[in-house]
Structure 1
Amino acid sequence: MKKMIILVAACGALMVAAVPAQAAPKNPVSVLKAKLVPGHGVRFTDTVTWSDGTDERGARDSKGAFQFGKKGVTAFDVSMDSGYEQERVISIGKTGYYSGGDLAGLLPEGKTWFKGTGGAIPDSWAQFLNPAEPKTLAALIKNGKSKGSSVTGSITVKELKAVSAWIAAARIDKEHEDIKISYTLTLSSAGLVSRARSSYTVTEDGESNMVTVDSRYTGWGSKVSIKAPDPNTVTTKFR
């Protein structure tokens, strides 16, 4: 009988050892921080749609890249196409370079870039959420509910300002701080954000419109080098 008990115990131990250990869930913020290597970054595309409640239209498509420093985004380059005009913004540190759109007819002859302040979202049709910022990503996960590979929630512009350099440097008026942004993040098997979909409603002249931005992120940690435009094409003055 003792031999039988020992044999059963031994078999039980073998069965337990044969079951593979379940990997601990990846912490997206920790995974992101490991990717923040100078000279590397991530590429993205944005699709912006606009709706007045009855009609929905494509407003703009964008594509670009973020370049990383040790703590987060240090530069970005984004090209925007609304179908009737093209714009491009290059931001390095706190300096921004702007080209195309309405600026095209305002710059001196031979100049194609205007130099000003940068470091923030290029305009109100860009993706307000920046999942390449650790503090921002942490706040989005905290505010949202996780289910499988998705995180769904909402956050106000004011709350974003407190954690996001991308928003804080945009100088958004206080009257817009109460705007609530609904979002869904999709995480890859590596624990990185592969998609961020956000929407918010803005009211102007008594009319409410919803803006939705659908962003895709690829090449996390790939080499990215963003440089300022040729100085000969840059100006700080208008005609």
Structure 2
Amino acid sequence: MRRWILPAALALAAALPAVTAVPAAARTAAPDPAQAVKAQLRPERGVRVDEVSRAVTAKASTRTRYHSGIQLGPTGPVASWADVEDASDDRSSGGQGSKPGQRAAVGTSVYTTGEAVAELLPKDKLWVRTEQGDRYPNLALAVASKQTINVFDPAVLRAALKGKRAGAVSGGHLYRGTITYAKLYEAAKGYYGKLFSGAPRGAYAKTTISWRLWTDSRGLPLRLATTERAVSGAYRTIDTRYSGWGEHLIITAPARAEVVEWEDRRRPGPDAPESDISLSAAHSEPYAS
């Protein structure tokens, strides 16, 4: 299991260089991000993700940090790992956050370890496994990020970038725009149709996501910043940075001897709700209520 956990120093190296404008004379035609990402969809290749999201309602404000690795395949993310930490600010009741943990998505299973599940583990076990089935459009992506715009689908990128001009910045290009869930559904009905159990309707269909996308000199995403507002006035911002495109990455499940099934976990007191280690705040959940 250790071979897929990236060294902390390597993960921290994902910080972006300073973004500055460049003279018009130095500008060149921008590479197509959709084609650039499509070329990365190969077996045993991956990308690193560093992300901070903030969800704000009338009663609470919570930040979530992800340090993740995503294994790619011809159809997109196929497995992932993530260090996840939630932190509530003073607007939240008690100002408390959830305990940090590490997750891995392999197949249709999520494996969780760390403080978040420490009280549930027998002495000889390190991981709790939960079976997710086909609950999420892409389980590997749901474990690694909260972003609602799926940059790993070239069709989604083409829909978002349609009619948008690239602005030249140091080392690459910057795009900006808005897109609705209805447009995202048109671009990737399989993915967003699973998310909404069909075509998005009502407020969800009209919900607008404002976005900015930075790409490198090859057209690959370096950073995606999105803002999504609900009709209630609640909003969510997500700032995701990508690095290490194309690095060799294989993510495997923990050894069976280290894993306890959710149904067989230790019960020191009242049963902990399964939502404690589920993906209830996963990237794929819309924010229009």
Code of the residue aligned with 2:263 in structure 1: it is K
Which of structures 1 and 2 has the bigger CA Rg? Answer: 1
Code of the residue aligned with 1:151 in structure 2: it is Y
Q: How many residues align?
A: 212
- Secondary structure in 1 matching 2:219: coil
Residue 277 of structure 2 corresponds to residue 221 of structure 1: no
Could you say if the C-alpha distance between residues 88 and 214 of structure 1 is closer, same or farther in structure 2, counting changes exceeding 3 Å? Answer: same
Code of the residue aligned with 2:157 in structure 1: it is L
Shift of 1:186: 0.5
Could you say if the C-alpha distance between residues 144 and 92 of structure 1 is closer, same or farther in structure 2, counting changes exceeding 3 Å? Answer: farther
Equivalent-residue separation in structure 2 for 1:78 and 1:177 (angstroms): 30
Q: Give unpaired runs (5+ residues) of structure 1.
A: 1-21
Partner residue of 1:157 out of 176, 181, 191: 181
Q: TM-score, normalised by structure 2?
A: 0.61
Matched residue, 2:256:
231
Residue 236 of structure 2 corresponds to residue 211 of structure 1: yes
Point out 4+ residue stretches in structure 1 off by more than 6 angstroms. Answer: none
Could you say if the C-alpha distance between residues 39 and 172 of structure 1 is closer, same or farther in structure 2, counting changes exceeding 3 Å? Answer: same
Could you say if the C-alpha distance between residues 194 and 26 of structure 1 is closer, same or farther in structure 2, counting changes exceeding 3 Å? Answer: same
Could you say if the C-alpha distance between residues 135 and 212 of structure 1 is closer, same or farther in structure 2, counting changes exceeding 3 Å? Answer: same
Matched residue, 2:6:
none
Partner residue of 1:48 out of 49, 53, 77: 53
**Structure (1 or 2) with the greater strand fraction:** 1
Partner residue of 1:116 out of 132, 151, 169: 132
Partner residue of 1:180 out of 183, 208, 219: 208
Could you say if the C-alpha distance between residues 236 and 57 of structure 1 is closer, same or farther in structure 2, counting changes exceeding 3 Å? Answer: closer
Partner residue of 1:80 out of 77, 84, 102: 84
Provide Cα deviations, 1:150-188, integer angstroms capped at 9, x if missing partner. 111122233324444664544579563432211110011
Contact 1:107 1:237 in 2 (8 A): no
Q: Give unpaired runs (5+ residues) of structure 2.
A: 1-26, 88-96, 266-289
Aligned-residue RMSD, C-alpha: 3.4
- Secondary structure in 2 matching 1:237: helix
Q: How does 1:30-109 map to 2 (within 5 A)?
A: 30-52=35-57, 59-83=63-87, 84=97, 85-93=99-107, 95-99=108-112, 104=117, 109=122
Identity %: 22
Partner residue of 1:147 out of 154, 167, 179: 167
